[in-house]
Amino acid sequence: MNTTRALVRTFTSGAVRRAVASDKVHPGYQKIRSKMFQFQVDNGVPIHLKGGVLDNLLFLSTLGISAVGLGMCFQFFYTMSFPKKA
């Protein structure tokens, strides 16, 4: 058990030491860091809407589809409660 922990620690911490030792940083990492900073800003916007216009569009479409589904449920309950007399 202890050898497994030591082995995992060796592999996980070695990459960090190598990254800190070199001054070269992958350009994709800077892009990820800027995106992380965008989501960590405390501006009162919920986390699921911080992505921009696309997140807002997805949220509103989800609300609309849920409202339509709820309306259809109530319609089903009504038709089952008061069936048409033939």
Return averaged pLDDT per consecutive 10 residues of the chain, 86 residues in all: 69 60 78 89 89 93 98 97 87
The pLDDT of residue 11: 67
CA-to-CA dists, residue 19 to 10, 15, 42, 74, 79, angstroms? 14, 6, 29, 58, 66
Non-local (6+) Cβ contacts of 31 within 8 A are none
- Write down the pLDDT at residue 57: 96
pLDDT attached to residue 79 = 94
